[in-house]
């Protein structure tokens, strides 16, 4: 399946709507806190740190053998996850 520029724009609009919903709820309960979010400048860095933390929590459940294979590059976790995602999409997993 090919993703077009229009699909990407629509996906981004959907994501912006979801994030806006979070902000709206947050701001209803605490206007001052919402205003402080406006001036925060490091959202991309913070989001990357959270992604790293989530990846760390996921990988922490693996044993040494799996971790060593990943560390050596013998096992590509991204590629394996991509294959599993495709299996799930096809209903094979």
Spell out the domain ranges in the chain. 1-40, 43-93
The CA–CA distances, whole Å, from 33 to 36, 47, 68, 89 equal 5, 18, 43, 40
Helices 5-29 and 31-39 pack at an angle, to 10 degrees, of 140
Per-residue pLDDT averaged across 23-48, rounded?
Answer: 95
Alpha carbon distance 28, 39 (integer Å): 18
Structure tokens, 29: 């309960």
Query: What pLDDT band is residue 74 in, cutting at 50, 70 and 90?
Result: very high
Per-residue pLDDT averaged across 56-64, rounded?
Answer: 97
- Say whether pTM exceeds 0.75: no
What is the pLDDT at residue 2? 61
How does pLDDT run across 22-33, given as a tens digit for each residue? 999 999 999 999
Estimate to the nearest angstrom the gap between the alpha carbon of 15 and the chain centroid: 12
């Amino acid at each position: 399946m090919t993703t077009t520029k229009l699909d990407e724009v629509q996906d981004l609009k959907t994501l912006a709507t979801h994030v806006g919903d979070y902000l709206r709820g947050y701001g209803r309960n605490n206007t001052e806190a919402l205003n402080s979010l406006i001036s925060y400048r490091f959202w991309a860095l913070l989001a990357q740190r959270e992604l790293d933390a989530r990846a760390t929590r996921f990988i922490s459940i693996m044993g040494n053998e799996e971790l060593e294979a990943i560390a050596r590059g013998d096992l590509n976790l991204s590629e394996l996850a991509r294959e599993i995602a495709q299996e799930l999409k096809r209903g094979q997993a």
